[in-house]
Amino acid sequence: MQSLAPSLPPVRADAPEEIPVLDLGAYLAGEPGALQQLGAELRRAFEQIGFYFIVNHGVPQSLVDAAFAEAARFHAQPLEAKLAVKIDESLVGYLPVRGSTTRHSQINRDNKPNVNEAFFSRRDVNKWPANLPGFRETVVAYQAAMEKLGKSLLPIYATALDLPADHFDALFAEPSYTLRMSHYPQHDAPADNEFGLAPHTDTSFMTLLAQNKIPGLSIRLPTGRWVDAPAIDGAFLVNGGDLLRRWTNDRFLATPHRVANRSGKERYAIPFFFDCGAGVSMECLPTCREDGQPPRYEPITYAAYMDWYRQMNYGQAKDRSGVSLSAY
């Protein structure tokens, strides 16, 4: 398998703000020592940046391209057709432009509603558009590929945390996940505190983001400086969220980020949020406890955390007709 990594800038120990690139080729081929090397690289990424790229991951680019195409096809429908699958209490279906306000993050407190629209799908119960043949099949295939990729990364996370390589396997035997197919319309003159997606940290254990040719994503580095995320063809940009941070007792970063589309073009994004089973109790990992210090957080299940998140960010959402989305 040909590696993409040698053509990329090297990760330098004296440049902690650089987003590292993890090449999965040798690991997926089962080469000795590859897991341990990636574990060390991932540990550095999460203790210093909170984001990393993966290349040679095994997901066909044709499937990624198809998922982007379906996102564009869904959002090209008339509003009435999209509202036919309007988002519900389980956070599946269509969320209109300005249908959510980011309230769960402490980075920017006075956010206006987000200038994006999205279609959400999850593992089991979903709402599917009636007049888009092939849409459901492509989305399901993409979700399956992302689930497989997420599971393949779990031994690297365990190794990075000085745990047995199979530590997370049972906890992610039937993982929770959400695919968000977002459309960011052109937005060249935002008001104060108005964003395509306001500054926030993700909720997830792991977010897998296919690369987007239209810029707009910015990352807030631990130094406090905002930088535009670079794009690497064929790669995925991966980050952790609040659940990974809690589970690791703040050892691993949940790095804030935001989206603003000032490109003059329509922008689409297909982040995949990958989490443990809904009923798994996330208690402080044994390798993340400081000597003599109690864990910083009480145990919590994925389901309980997501209930809180939905109330914070979507409880007051309204569609363009003024109908409250909290009255599902």
Q: Provide the CATH number for the domain around residue 31.
A: 2.60.120.330
111 belongs to a structural domain? yes
Bridge partners for 209 per DSSP: 237
pTM of the model: 0.89
pLDDT in tens, 102-159: 775 567 666 788 989 999 999 888 999 999 999 999 999 999 999 999 999 999 999 9
Structure tokens at 61: 């680019």
Highest mean pLDDT among 98-112, 164-178, 282-296: 164-178
pLDDT for residue 305: 87
Q: How confident is the model at residue 61 (pLDDT cuts 50, 70, 90)?
A: very high
pLDDT for residue 284: 96
324 belongs to a structural domain? no
Q: How confident is the model at residue 315 (pLDDT cuts 50, 70, 90)?
A: low
pLDDT in tens, 192-238: 778 888 889 999 999 999 998 899 999 999 988 899 998 899 999 99
Highest mean pLDDT among 2-16, 45-59, 179-193: 45-59
Q: Using N-to-C axis directions, what is the helix angle for 34-48 and 135-160, rounded to 10°?
A: 90
pLDDT for residue 109: 65
Lowest mean pLDDT of 116-125, 184-193, 249-258, 295-304, name the range: 184-193
Q: Could you tell me the residue range of the domain that residue 128 belongs to?
A: 16-314
105 belongs to a structural domain? yes
11 belongs to a structural domain? no
282 belongs to a structural domain? yes
pLDDT for residue 293: 76
Q: Is the pLDDT of residue 189 over 80?
A: no
Burial 40-78 (b: 16+ CB within 10 A, else e): ebbbbbbebbbbbbbbbbebeeebbebbbebbeebbebe
Q: Is the pLDDT of residue 16 over 60?
A: no
Angle at alpha carbon of residue 161, lines to 155 and 167, rounded to 5°: 45
| Percentage of residues of the chain with pLDDT beyond 70 | 88
Q: What is the mean pLDDT of the chain?
A: 88
198 belongs to a structural domain? yes
Q: Is the pLDDT of residue 14 over 80?
A: no
pLDDT for residue 320: 37
2 belongs to a structural domain? no
Q: How confident is the model at residue 90 (pLDDT cuts 50, 70, 90)?
A: confident
Tally the domains of the chain. Answer: 1
Give kind and range of the element (H or E) at residue 146. helix 135-160
10 belongs to a structural domain? no
